[in-house]
Structure 1
Amino acid sequence: MLNIVKKSLIELNINGEKKLVVARPADTLLHVLREQLGLTGAKPSCKNGDCGACTVLIDGKPIKSCLMLAAEAIGHEITTVEGLRNSPIQQAFVEKFAFQCGYCTSGFIMNCHALSVHQPNAKDETIREWLQSNLCRCTGYEEITEAIKSVLAQKSESAP
């Protein structure tokens, strides 16, 4: 017997733009971002939510896109690393050499950006907690920690 999988046309709000995609009910947001929209910043790695390489922001909160169905993202604001072009956290990662091979970097950037927005006065313990959701096998987390601290310091200097 032939098994026919129904696909639907769905509208996603990605990086401030409405995008129409055709998705199966089982398509993950990660799959749709990469394969249909060419937004390859979110990386497939563990595909079970452990590593954080696929992190995107949903309504400003970090979410692992390998665990979210594309259909679940309807009506939400999705931000990918491509939507953070020239952001302070990206610049800090460059200045602090907070990457080596780069595979996990976009996930860290998304998580650190969200941290800087939601916890602008974060102390070391909070930073460590947030960084636990992302894994890097190439480097220690010192440079990444320095990058986020530099962004938090800039925010506190510019705050009234």
Structure 2
Amino acid sequence: MWTKPVSKGFYEKLQVKVSNIVKSLGYVRGYTDEIMKSIDRYMINGEVPTRHYCEEYFMAIFFTLRVEVDEAMARSAAARQRAAQRRARKAEERKEAESKKKLVVSLLESRIREIGSTDSCPKPIYPECGDGPEGVTVAAIGEASSVKLRNTSPVNASSVETMFKSACL
């Protein structure tokens, strides 16, 4: 995992730049490693090399590159902050979407329960035969089994006209 406060790309370019500077000055490869260690310490805890411990060329290279390192650290910090804000915004959007989804599901379930309950469904009213189709059936059965229809002639259903005549309609 990358732990430096600059991007990998910047750091790699910085290494190449330091190596080219050291090579141009005629120093050996080991100086590149020492300068990079010093830059790493500066990036991690702000430690700046002093004249007491470093040679002039070392100080000149470090302080020349320090400006670039500071700019890169600022860019990386800003990028990390934007990324954190983006992650927080996306998490909030996911939370809101989940909340809306739960609300819709709750409303649908409530509506389904409402539609499914017999109390909320209106029944047609048949005042002459009770509260509904069951009353019509019960009334018809009662009328058919009553004494009133026993002494009448059966309805002739050979045609519609004869049926109406036999029913006295």
Structure with the higher strand share, 1 or 2: 1
Output the TM-score relative to the length of structure 1: 0.29
Between Structure 1 and Structure 2, which shows a larger proportion of helix residues? Answer: 2
Greater C-alpha Rg: 2
Quick one: higher RCO (CA 8 Å, sep 6+), 1 or 2?
A: 1
